[in-house]
Structure 1
Amino acid sequence: MTQSRPPVVAMPLRVRFHECDPQGIVFNAHYLAYFDMASFEFFKAVFGSYDAVRDRGVDVVVAESNLRYHAPSRFDEELVVEVVIDHLGTTSMILGFTVRRGAELIATGTNRYVFVDATALTKAAPPQDVRAKLEAHT
């Protein structure tokens, strides 16, 4: 998947040595960590902080992750992780991620997040003001 609209967040990062495997290429699982880091930047951009969402009584948990590799990246390369909302449902949302090195596509993926009550951790629809802020970015 490549994004057809401007990202909500474009998070720069530099590949660290310990993220690379013996072949000198970023180990695959680190892309999910990059997605996670970018998701917190997404919540900061939309709500001011991740805690601002939790303060409204709702949280999110990852229910599914998908990832596709397009090209390798290596130590000390500068990457950008872009985030968009691919889908906003009643009790879940899908964030789409694109990792680029300049104009080159490195990886794409999604995380499906389920909204949960911040205390009980049971599935719950987000409050309307939370939904409205997310809808502004769909």
Structure 2
Amino acid sequence: MAPYTHQIQVGWGDCDPARIAYTARLPWFALEAINGWWADALGEQAGWYHMELDRGTGTPFVSMSMDFRAPVTPRHVLECACWPTRLGTTSISFRVEGRQDETLCFEGEFTCVFVDSPTFTKAPPPDDIRALVEARIPG
């Protein structure tokens, strides 16, 4: 299955005086892509909001790692390819690669733990979520 691609129009307000995206905006863009992945996979526009409030399943982050390869600017659409790389008994890891004009700008690994939202305790993913994630992990 091809990775989900989330498009972001980087704006002037996302940039610093050097005219490139603020460093702190890059994880924001990656998390926006992961939220888009969830919305696409679940068939719900709201992504995490839907999972948390309507399904009672949260996925707070426990680890983030990013490498920056090239500047991100408002000059081109930022295309963030996103896919799950691992599903554990209570966790999920994603890879996000951000490109502009076919140039790799950043890449990262992001791990979340599944929690029962009302109690905020670690829990396995619901069976339907496990099935949809397993179907989208490459190879």
Taking the aligned partners of 2:61 and 2:69, their CA distance within structure 1 comes to: 23
Q: In structure 1, what residue type is equivalent to 2:87?
A: L
What corresponds to 2:57 in structure 1?
Answer: 58
Count of aligned pairs between the two proteins = 133
TM-score by length of 2: 0.88
1:126 equivalenced with 2:125 (yes/no): yes
| 1:20-99 equivalence runs, <5 A | 20-49=15-44, 50=47, 51-54=49-52, 55-99=54-98
1:6 matched residue in structure 2: 2
**Alpha-carbon separation, structure 1, partners of 2:119 and 2:86:** 25
- Give the unaligned 5+ runs of structure 2: none
TM (normalized to structure 1)?
Answer: 0.89
> Does the 8 A contact of 1:53 with 1:130 survive in 2?
no
In structure 1, stretches of 5+ residues that fail to align are none
Q: Which runs of 4+ in 1 moved over 6 A?
A: none
Query: How far did 1:76 drift?
Result: 3.7
| Aligned mates of 2:75, 2:69 — CA distance in 1 | 19
Distance (Å, rounded) in 2 between the aligned partners of 1:117 and 1:100:
34
Q: What one-letter code is carried by the residue in structure 1 that aligns with 2:104?
A: L
- Look up the SS of the partner of 2:59 in the other structure: strand
Percentage of pairs with the same residue: 28
